[in-house]
Amino acid sequence: MPTLTLDGLDLAALLCSRVCHDVISPVGAIVNGLEVLEDDQDESMREFALELIGKSARQASARLKFARIAFGAAGSAGASIDLADAESVAKGMFADEKTKLEWRAPQALFPKNKVKLILNLVMVTTSAIPRGGLIDVTITGDGEAPTFVLKAKGSHARIPPHVVELIAGEPESGTVDAHGILPFYAGLVARAAKMDVRFAIEGDEVTVTAEPSMTEQPSVEDAGNSGTELA
């Protein structure tokens, strides 16, 4: 099956839908909290509203910081990103959540697309444990030839449906919607970064491994020329 190529406008629209999906809930909670402050004079309700606003504002900020690196430009073409910054935004996504994140990586600057790949794989791996659990991220090697190993352990762990095909750029339906854009985009970034992604499952643990590709992959410039430029 040939690799699916999305029009640049369609890719941008689907990624924007994903970002909006992630931030609309905490932003809506902030609005609700402000309405309580305006209309309710009960001290306990006002205290609850302030707590809700604070928590929701932190969630929205964390999700936008994550999206800026995982989906956005985060620097000029060819820029590198500090793995410590990637760890910070990744852990921010899981604050107060049912899923915990452990991160082991060298203190180093890695090429932008490789950092974008690890962050997108973190989110893809989250869907492997729908009831929550632990995601363990290990990064070894240098920025030119790294290995990423993500282990997701939790009740009812499974390789998410269609995710392997979507990362390969070969969705069974021949199209991509807002639900499938994250693994599809992760595949685009993997090919731009010349990395191969594999999935395995044993018991209640799913392992996602990304390693340097053994075959020649399109460059970032090639990806841009095909209508899927990565910022």
Taking the chain, what is the end-to-end CA distance rounded to the nearest angstrom?
A: 27
**What's residue 117's pLDDT?**
97
pLDDT tens, position by position, 22-40: 999 999 999 999 999 988 7
Nearest to 123 by CA among 139, 99, 105, 147: 99
Cα-only R_g, the chain: 19
* pTM of the predicted protein model: 0.86
Tell me, yes or no, whether 1 lies in a domain: no
Query: Residues in the chain, how many?
Result: 231
pLDDT band at 222; cut points 50, 70, 90: very low
Residue 45, token pair as written in the block? 């309700």
Tell me, yes or no, whether 2 lies in a domain: no
**Which stretches within the chain are classed as H helix?**
8-39, 43-70, 83-93, 112-126, 163-167, 181-192, 220-225
**What's residue 1's pLDDT?**
62
Nearest to 81 by CA among 131, 127, 55, 118: 118
pLDDT tens, position by position, 172-195: 888 898 889 999 999 999 999 999
How many C-beta neighbours within 10 Å does residue 200 have? 11
Lowest mean pLDDT segment, chosen from 21-35, 89-103, 110-124: 89-103
Tokens 């990423």 -> residue = 148
Tokens 């991220």 -> residue = 137
Number of domains in the chain: 1
Domain membership of residue 128 as a residue range:
8-225
Q: Which residues contact 122 (CB under 8 A, 6 or more apart)?
A: 90, 93, 101, 135, 137, 150
How many C-beta neighbours within 10 Å does residue 62 have? 22
Tell me, yes or no, whether 230 lies in a domain: no
Residue 230, token pair as written in the block? 């990565």
**What's residue 98's pLDDT?**
87
Nearest to 194 by CA among 173, 220, 212: 212
How many C-beta neighbours within 10 Å does residue 183 have? 26
Q: At 71, which CATH number?
A: 3.30.565.10
Q: Which residues contact 28 (CB under 8 A, 6 or more apart)?
A: none
162: left (phi > 0), else alpha (psi -120 to 50), else beta?
Answer: left
For residues 30 and 74, the model is more confident at: 30
Arithmetic mean of pLDDT, 123-150: 95
Residue 147, token pair as written in the block? 């290995």
pLDDT band at 225; cut points 50, 70, 90: very low
